Structure 1
């Protein structure tokens, strides 16, 4: 096994060949002749060593701690700056700060639960999947809802814009990414129009996801009286800014009566206009009924975190059932995040997988699961459940592409079927269990969604809606091809090495 000096020399040689000016500036050119390089090398290894201790103490999983510790001590020139930006850091302080804010907002959620008819709560099978998800998310199971599947941007954006145009009291908008392109400007135009008509509008966006969003775009919103806030990860001095903890939720609520949840952000690429990734395959849904009131809770929590303001001026009454529908859909809101007492996102998926009796269909763009998820899928396949996983053929991340190949063999061996979507880039996050349960939202099957991102999903128990999800996914499967471990066997050796390395780095992706 090569020592750190060998790797350091190799890095210096690579840097000298690829980026000679940078190498000369850092003293890496002809590193063996430069004392500065040896000093810098020693300093980086010392820093990497102490950072690896921090990683072992603070990283949430043993796999992540091992991955960081190895990287920091082996490749400090790369891993040290990466850990400074993406490492968990003082995670306990972050949790304490976030939970302190949630304690102020939580009474609204408690009143919300209390306001639901006791007879409805009594309908919920607390030992079943919906009851389990309710206990995990601390959100009630609601009845009398409606849900409409919105396939791709062609259906999603017109539906959102139509709802915005009909707003009478307020509009809540939250996205991970907002672009200042044609789609983003169309959203801004409609929000500005409603704000000038007296409708209260609040827009919450993620700092990292909207790094390229222009100041002019935001200024135009604010000038119209719209409250616009970034989701900041730094509140007071309790926690340093971390790019790790991103708000990945996609949510629009109009008047507390209509909500939109799913996988689409705001940008032309989500309408199939990306130069490389088009056509863009995604799924959103439109919801009405009591679950909409529940979806206001995570927005209120995030708004309070970003601004310190309590959203007491929203309609917190449980929305009336849809006329002529005595029961409607059974739905539960599932907001998840890194400050949860338990790993709610991964446990949600584990609960759904464990509850399956006949089939599990999963569509996800980023399939980089942890070992418990892999084992749960293997067990499901072994007990006779049909396990089908749909992922893209075309990826927007090379690391995720490499990682995805590493799981095919062990799932295929257990009897699961893995397919790759062929018609452009697939970005939807959809899960179908048996003939009656659907899960749709923003969460991927990866460590970032499981433990680092703020995500939002909605679980729906209804055969009619599940049938529509089945039809949608069946059409997607027809646009896919089966993949197997043999595909990896035919790849080049550098590709196979990349797959193994990506698997080792999966816990910190």
Structure 2
């Protein structure tokens, strides 16, 4: 088993990318060094380039932490720092036309229903500005008359997912960041092939790096042979390119246009605790039934293919009398966040909830790699008397991320923020609740990648009764978690503190 795991690690996409990256850097160094006596002139030119780039980066409209990280790299590695930044910036990018097309389609397909925003304003005046922002800049409308159900564990969600997939009559769309061979994949594969055989339009999309090289072909060949349409989003390419950073981190399932699932759960056995990796794995998700599912349908189809609006409209189920079997319980606004539009929708939603909270903020996140803006927002809320509590993993999946998180623990606890570590293992849930009245659940971590680099999605819940279930689950989870104290931060070994401080300088690039 250990040998198999070692081979898997060596052949993984991340390992291949690192090796190829190092080879390309070595090639650049050899090319420069081979210049002999002329090397000094190249060195001076590179130093001049670094100075120009440092000035350019300082004045760019990128996040401060990102700019600082690159300036540090350029200062420490004057020979390669500037060249690396320039090469990555001019390398392959997602075409801007893709973002322009998506925005055009969203304006045509996702139209805010008359009266809904006014109803939300009357019901929750403190939240309506957030809804208006997401509708105007995220281009996703808010809905009422939609049923939501919360799942506090991946096991419960998976059981319900299979039950709902069995009812499909028209189409099934699935989108995951990670898919691994195992029990979950086998069960879903058998079901999808059977449904495709019934003539149902079944599509499965997965990320080219998140799923990995070993899982890129063989597990999906049988699905394709069985009639399931499979698509790799942004396939792995062995080149230094910023496009490799733009991953599809979303987890979406849409069934017949009336039911959708969204949350942190991927299609791998650790998410339902049939395979133990980092202790007990806690994840969360929601099921949505009603007109709001249209938002999920559109966001899936936009990444799937270059279809025009008229083609996508055939998946809109206007024939379903939602009002006949759905109870109107608050409002919901499913949204997607793209790295292409320079609008960090996910981060701004979190900031709005934190800044407007009057009593409580409840957050769960597997990663706490946050910039000064987010740290100040959390700390200022706590200083105003808001009870700000965050639950993170006790057993991390990435040691360096955990080291950076502890660096932030010290700052946040000093400001009055309560940090809990989930003692049983790894918490992968991504939720944020303000005052028990407004909540976000989805795929967005509290880190730079989710805020700026990945394709993400989630749902904002306004005045929905299901928010009580999320808060209740948070409280139960906090009971089995360890409250991190200032003393805990102080007692950490010096080398861990130093490692966390150094890694934190490069956090936006990790």
TM over 0.5: yes
Is the contact between residue 295 and residue 333 of structure 1 (CA under 8 Å) also seen in structure 2? yes
Q: Which residue of 2 aligns with 1:216?
A: 218
TM-fit CA distance, 1:431: 1.2
Which deviates more, 498-507 or 421-430? 498-507
Is the contact between residue 436 and residue 468 of structure 2 (CA under 8 Å) also seen in structure 1? yes
Cα separation, 2, equivalents of 1:489 and 1:274: 35
Question: Is 1:427 matched with 2:428?
Answer: yes
- Relative distance call for 1:360 and 1:191 in structure 2 (3 A) is same
Q: Which residue of 1 aligns with 2:362?
A: 361
Is the contact between residue 147 and residue 326 of structure 2 (CA under 8 Å) also seen in structure 1? no
TM-fit CA distance, 1:130: 4.2
- Relative distance call for 1:352 and 1:440 in structure 2 (3 A) is same
Which deviates more, 306-315 or 350-359? 306-315
- Relative distance call for 1:107 and 1:435 in structure 2 (3 A) is closer
Q: Which residue of 1 aligns with 2:98?
A: 98
For 1:431, what is the secondary structure of its paired residue?
strand
Is the contact between residue 236 and residue 244 of structure 2 (CA under 8 Å) also seen in structure 1? no
Question: Is 1:457 matched with 2:458?
Answer: yes
**1:18-39 C-alpha deviation (Å, 9 max, x unpaired):** xxxx99xx89xxxxxxx87999
Cα separation, 2, equivalents of 1:189 and 1:104: 37
TM-fit CA distance, 1:90: 5.9
Report 1:14-93 matches (<5 A). 50=49, 56-57=56-57, 60-75=62-77, 87=88, 89=90
Is the contact between residue 54 and residue 89 of structure 1 (CA under 8 Å) also seen in structure 2? no
- Relative distance call for 1:268 and 1:324 in structure 2 (3 A) is closer
- Relative distance call for 1:389 and 1:221 in structure 2 (3 A) is same
- Relative distance call for 1:243 and 1:77 in structure 2 (3 A) is farther
The count of residues paired between Structure 1 and Structure 2 equals 471
TM-fit CA distance, 1:402: 1.0
Q: Which residue of 2 aligns with 1:121?
A: 117
Which deviates more, 156-165 or 308-317? 308-317
Cα separation, 1, equivalents of 2:361 and 2:258: 31
- Relative distance call for 1:485 and 1:81 in structure 2 (3 A) is farther
TM-fit CA distance, 1:273: 3.7
**1:195-215 C-alpha deviation (Å, 9 max, x unpaired):** 011100111111111123141
Q: Which residue of 1 aligns with 2:141?
A: 140
TM-fit CA distance, 1:135: 2.2
Is the contact between residue 49 and residue 82 of structure 2 (CA under 8 Å) also seen in structure 1? no
TM-fit CA distance, 1:264: 0.5
Q: Which residue of 1 aligns with 2:329?
A: 328
- Relative distance call for 1:195 and 1:59 in structure 2 (3 A) is farther
Q: Which residue of 2 aligns with 1:389?
A: 390
Q: Which residue of 2 aligns with 1:154?
A: 155
- Say what the alpha-carbon RMSD is for the aligned residues: 3.5
- Show structure 2 runs of 5+ residues with no match: 1-21, 28-32
**1:387-408 C-alpha deviation (Å, 9 max, x unpaired):** 0011111111122111111222
Is the contact between residue 151 and residue 285 of structure 2 (CA under 8 Å) also seen in structure 1? yes
Which deviates more, 298-307 or 142-151? 298-307
Cα separation, 2, equivalents of 1:78 and 1:497: 25
For 1:406, what is the secondary structure of its paired residue?
helix
- Relative distance call for 1:171 and 1:501 in structure 2 (3 A) is same
For 2:173, what is the secondary structure of its paired residue?
strand
Cα separation, 2, equivalents of 1:38 and 1:381: 59
**1:146-170 C-alpha deviation (Å, 9 max, x unpaired):** 1111122211111111111110000
TM-fit CA distance, 1:474: 0.9
TM-fit CA distance, 1:315: 2.0
Cα separation, 1, equivalents of 2:283 and 2:177: 15
- Show structure 1 runs of 5+ residues with no match: 1-21, 28-34
Cα separation, 2, equivalents of 1:343 and 1:66: 19
For 1:311, what is the secondary structure of its paired residue?
helix
For 2:449, what is the secondary structure of its paired residue?
helix
Is the contact between residue 432 and residue 440 of structure 2 (CA under 8 Å) also seen in structure 1? yes
Is the contact between residue 124 and residue 131 of structure 1 (CA under 8 Å) also seen in structure 2? no
Cα separation, 2, equivalents of 1:319 and 1:102: 26
- Relative distance call for 1:348 and 1:97 in structure 2 (3 A) is same
Is the contact between residue 45 and residue 76 of structure 1 (CA under 8 Å) also seen in structure 2? no
For 2:106, what is the secondary structure of its paired residue?
helix
TM-fit CA distance, 1:75: 4.3
**1:95-117 C-alpha deviation (Å, 9 max, x unpaired):** 6233233145224434x43xx3x
Alignment TM-score, normalising by the size of structure 1: 0.83
Cα separation, 1, equivalents of 2:86 and 2:273: 35
**1:175-194 C-alpha deviation (Å, 9 max, x unpaired):** 11111222112211111110
Cα separation, 1, equivalents of 2:305 and 2:429: 29
Q: Which residue of 2 aligns with 1:294?
A: 295
Is the contact between residue 175 and residue 206 of structure 1 (CA under 8 Å) also seen in structure 2? yes
Choose which of 221, 225, 236 in structure 1 pairs with 2:227.
225
Is the contact between residue 103 and residue 139 of structure 2 (CA under 8 Å) also seen in structure 1? no
Q: Which residue of 2 aligns with 1:32?
A: none
- Relative distance call for 1:309 and 1:73 in structure 2 (3 A) is farther
TM-fit CA distance, 1:46: 7.4
- Relative distance call for 1:251 and 1:280 in structure 2 (3 A) is same
